[in-house]
Amino acid sequence: MTLIAHFRLVSESEDTACYEERTEEGHPLVIGTLCIQNWALPQPIPSSLRVALDFFSPARPSTRAVQQAPGRESMGDRRVTVGKSVTVVKDTAASLTHPPEFLEQYLGRTGTVLWITADGAMVKFDDSATWFAYTELQVAE
């Protein structure tokens, strides 16, 4: 199932652009207000957005990482934490949710961890940010 929501720009600051959801009359809001960091948007800041929400159920729970403590995730004997520098490496455990074709464009790139989940981390590069599984990341020493 996919839901599509449409937004229009209502305010912009030095760091963020805030969008208000537009719906057809009589339809309820799906998201409401959406604020996005300016670095993640194309320049000039778009006046409208379309957001697609795709829902899925993984075939089985992920066992790629075990949560050690809030804000710290396990990668063998190394730790991925917010603000750490990481390099994207070849994933030997590729799956349908982590296809190797997607990963190829990021191999060897180094970025900074923005946030972490039980399975991986959102990594910011100079021009974009993308989520990677822990098996695809190597902590810079």
Give 33's Cβ-side CA count (13 Å radius): 7
φ, ψ dihedrals at 91, nearest 5°: -95, 120
Of 11-15, 91-95, 99-103, which has the strongest mean pLDDT?
11-15
Contact 52, 107 (CB under 8 A): no
Query: What's the pLDDT at 67?
Result: 42
Whether residue 35 has pLDDT greater than 90: yes
With cut-offs at 50, 70 and 90, classify the pLDDT of residue 95: low
Pick the CATH number of 67-139 from 2.30.30.70, 1.10.10.10, 3.40.50.10470, 3.40.50.300: 2.30.30.70
pTM exceeds cut of 0.75: no
Give 12-30 pLDDT, tens digit per residue. Answer: 999 999 999 999 888 888 8
Query: What's the pLDDT at 112?
Result: 92
Domain with CATH 2.30.30.70 in the chain: 67-139
